[in-house]
């Protein structure tokens, strides 16, 4: 289940990158007079950052598999430190993306919205990795909702999601009860 969720997360990030580039190309024709030199560099920089984030996520996933297979506590502790470093690196890349996107047009705002929701989903996934007991059905559904909201930011289906992120912090939904419990 976790691998499926993580794979979906990766697919959403690729989708975000592709749609942001398509939107940037459409807006580029309108703003080419203002940003003649920067207009060509921005999509490439965003693509490189997304690629780096994807590589880091894959490395974290590989370390997660190793940690599960390794019975040695010292090795697990070292892997946890490495994962924390990677998480910090991803956080820096995310903040760089935010800084670059400030004041940009609609596609960049969509990307910013999606990145914030995906960051929340990644953080929750990290909690699940560190303590598997926290990976309840409700918390996994919360993670899926965060990924759906990221997707809605990109597709424009979630105007309310986009509005929530303008305050730089997505609002938490009311806790949902699990209707499948018997």
In the chain, domain spans: 106-172
- Residue 86: helix, strand or coil by DSSP? helix
Question: Which residues are within 8 A (CB) of 37 and not within 5 positions of it... i.e. 6 or more apart?
Answer: none
How do residues 123-159 score in pLDDT, each as one tens digit?
988 988 898 888 888 888 898 898 888 888 887 764 4
Tokens (6 digits) for 170: 């997505």
What is the reported pLDDT for 24? Answer: 54
pLDDT at 35 over 50: no
pLDDT digits (tens, 9 = 90+) for 82-114: 888 887 777 777 767 666 655 444 677 888 888
In this prediction, residue 110 carries a pLDDT of 81
Q: Round to whole Å and give the CA distance between 140 and 131.
A: 13
122 falls in which pLDDT band (50, 70, 90)?
very high
Model-level pTM?
Answer: 0.35
The first and second tokens of residue 150, run together, are: 């990221």
Q: Is the pLDDT of residue 3 over 80?
A: no
């Amino acid at each position: 289940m976790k691998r499926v969720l993580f794979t979906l997360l990766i697919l959403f990030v690729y989708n975000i990158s592709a749609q942001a580039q398509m939107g940037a190309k459409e807006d580029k024709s309108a703003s080419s007079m203002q940003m003649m030199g920067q207009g060509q560099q921005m999509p490439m920089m965003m693509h490189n950052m997304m690629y780096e984030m994807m590589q880091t996520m894959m490395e974290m996933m590989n370390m997660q598999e190793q940690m599960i297979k390794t019975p040695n506590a010292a090795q697990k502790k070292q892997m946890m430190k490495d994962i924390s470093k990677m998480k910090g690196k991803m956080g820096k890349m995310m903040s760089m993306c935010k800084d670059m996107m400030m004041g940009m047009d609609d596609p960049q705002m969509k990307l910013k919205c999606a990145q914030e929701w995906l960051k929340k989903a990644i953080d929750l996934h990290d909690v699940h990795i560190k303590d598997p007991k926290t990976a309840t059905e409700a918390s996994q559904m919360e993670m899926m909702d965060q990924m759906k909201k990221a997707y809605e930011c990109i597709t424009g289906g979630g105007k309310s999601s986009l509005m929530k992120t303008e305050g730089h912090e997505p609002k938490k939904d009311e806790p949902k009860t699990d209707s499948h419990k018997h």
